[in-house]
């Protein structure tokens, strides 16, 4: 499933802009009617104005509904992202209400057409047209909060980082200040994208490198504090939920240097907690800031320094290997003719 391209979603017009557009288009309709008989001419003109206005409103609203992806079609990570950014319930409700408005406008246009056919006087045609316009306006007034919501949601969603779920992804986690962002920069080809995730007020880093034509994405997580789950706020919970849903490997950084912001016991406790949450993804524990040590800390197997570059290439190879190993374990990725358990007698 490719990631959602929020940036491709067009601007959402305000309701008064939609009405302006509709009525402006409709006002050009009378000129297109040629009928020497006033009664027939006005009847056609008024009907055309109503149908034209309705079709502009209807198609504008339906385009929103169709261009916005259905939440069910999104990856769990994107769903968590949208939920944290704008709220999944509001998302569904707003699109549903907008669709309802489009249907109402269409049905009013149909009623008006039938009414105009039944009417017998020129004044009546004008009145029917005015009545339809009034009802269009009042429907759009009614859904104006949802349309405004959609406009604001678009701006928020456009600013989200996008992760391509077809490509490998490495999630980098650890306590605050352990060097997550610096390591992503060190592993990245080019400058990492700095993006604001809705999970945190912090700017997070999204970097990538290419190996054998595959794009390995790396994503920061907000520095998770070592506190019991129940004390974490909902934003942090979202970050944790995202951790569960995205990534092929979780790279957990530990800062064992004297200058570490978080005591080592707390960092290790956080690691235990993360292990409990992320049971299905491999976790690679790495000690950061190796340039600050005189000698390796006890038990540290893998050390890197974003500063000096020490261990960075080794780490990259290990990550690539871990992700490749994981792929073979996925039966869907096995080559055809590969003996599978269920086909063996
Ligand atoms: N000496 C040294 N300092 C480092 C290294 N990596 C990061 N730092 C420093 O550690 C501090 C924190 O680095 P960040 O990369 O921002 O850490 P972070 O984990 O992303 O921090 P948060 O996003 O706030 O949780 C910065 O002052 C970095 O300059 C390293 O390899 N060696
Ligand atoms: Mg950071």
Output the CA 250–ligand 1 centroid distance in Å.
18
**Sequence-separated (6 or more) residues with CB below 8 Å from residue 82:** 71, 74, 88, 91, 157
Q: Which ligand is nearest to the CA of 223?
A: 1
Residue list, ligand 1 pocket, CB within 6 Å: 176-182, 202, 223, 288-289, 291-292, 305-307
What are 57-108's pLDDT values in tens digits? Answer: 999 999 999 999 999 888 777 787 788 788 899 999 999 999 999 999 999 9
Alpha carbon distances (Å) from 61 to 16, 23, 26, 38, 271: 13, 15, 17, 34, 48
Which is more confidently placed, 196 or 85? 85
Mean pLDDT on 216-239: 67
Name the least confident of 64-78, 105-119, 204-218, 219-233.
219-233
- pLDDT at site 232: 61
Mean pLDDT on 38-42: 96
For the chain, give the number of residues.
345
- pLDDT at site 35: 94
Output the CA 327–ligand 2 centroid distance in Å.
29
- pLDDT at site 76: 73
Burial class (CB in 10 A: 0-12, 13-18, 19+), 2: exposed
Angle at 194 between CA 193 and CA 199, to 5 degrees: 125
Is the CB of residue 286 less than 8 Å from the CB of residue 303?
A: yes
Alpha carbon distances (Å) from 181 to 172, 188, 273: 8, 11, 21
What are 106-165's pLDDT values in tens digits? Answer: 999 999 999 999 999 999 999 999 999 999 999 999 999 999 999 999 988 887 767 777
Q: Considering only CA atoms, which residue is closest to atom 3 of ligand 1?
A: 289
Q: Please state the pTM of the whole predicted model.
A: 0.67
Enter the DSSP assignment of 36. Answer: S
Is the CB of residue 287 less than 8 Å from the CB of residue 303?
A: yes
Which ligand 1 atom is nearest residue 259's CA?
10
Instruction: Give residue 231's pLDDT band: very low, low, confident or very high (50, 70, 90).
Output: low
Whether residue 266 has pLDDT greater than 50: yes
Round to whole Å and give the CA distance between 74 and 236.
21
What are 321-337's pLDDT values in tens digits? Answer: 999 876 655 555 555 55
* Site of tokens 């890197």: 304
Q: Which ligand is nearest to the CA of 178?
A: 1
**Domains, the chain:** 6-158 (1.20.120.1190), 169-331 (3.40.50.300)
For the chain, report the end-to-end CA distance as a whole number of angstroms.
34
Q: Considering only CA atoms, which residue is closest to atom 25 of ligand 1?
A: 176
Provide the pairing of β-strand 169-174 with 214-220.
Answer: parallel
Q: What is the mean pLDDT of the chain?
A: 85
Which ligand 1 atom is nearest residue 292's CA?
1
Mean pLDDT on 158-175: 82
């Amino acid at each position: 499933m490719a990631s959602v391209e929020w940036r491709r979603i067009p601007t959402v017009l305000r309701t008064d802009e939609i009405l302006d557009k509709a009525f402006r288009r409709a006002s050009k309709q009378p000129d297109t009617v040629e009928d020497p008989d006033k009664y027939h001419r006005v009847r056609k003109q008024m009907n055309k104005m109503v149908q034209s206005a309705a079709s502009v409103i209807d198609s504008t609203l339906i385009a929103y509904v169709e261009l916005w992806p259905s939440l069910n079609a999104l990856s769990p990570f994107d769903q968590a992202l949208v939920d944290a950014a704008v709220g999944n319930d509001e998302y569904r409700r707003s699109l549903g209400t907008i669709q309802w408005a489009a249907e109402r406008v269409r049905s009013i246009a149909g009623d008006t057409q039938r009414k105009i056919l039944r009417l017998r006087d020129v004044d009546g045609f004008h009145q029917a047209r005015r009545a339809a316009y009034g009802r269009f306006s009042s429907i759009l007034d009614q859904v104006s909060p949802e349309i405004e919501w959609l406009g604001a949601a678009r701006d928020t969603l456009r600013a989200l980082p996008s992760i391509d779920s077809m490509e490998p992804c490495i999630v980098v986690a650890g306590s605050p200040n352990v060097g997550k962002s610096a390591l992503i920069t060190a592993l990245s080809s080019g400058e990492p994208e700095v993006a604001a995730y809705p999970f945190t007020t912090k700017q997070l880093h999204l970097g990538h490198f290419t190996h054998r034509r595959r794009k390995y994405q790396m994503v920061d997580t907000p520095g998770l504090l070592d506190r019991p789950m129940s004390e974490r706020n909902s934003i942090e919970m979202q970050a944790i939920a995202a951790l569960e849903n995205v990534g092929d490997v979780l790279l957990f950084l530990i800062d064992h240097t004297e200058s570490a912001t978080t005591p080592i016991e707390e960092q290790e406790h956080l690691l235990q907690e993360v292990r409990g949450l992320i049971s299905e993804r491999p976790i690679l524990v790495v000690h950061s800031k190796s340039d600050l040590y005189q000698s390796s800390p006890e038990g540290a197997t893998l050390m890197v320094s974003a500063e000096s570059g020490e261990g960075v290439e080794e780490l990259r190879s290990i990550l690539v290997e871990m992700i490749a190993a994981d792929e073979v374990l996925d039966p869907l990725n096995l080559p055809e003719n590969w003996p599978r358990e269920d086909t063996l007698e």
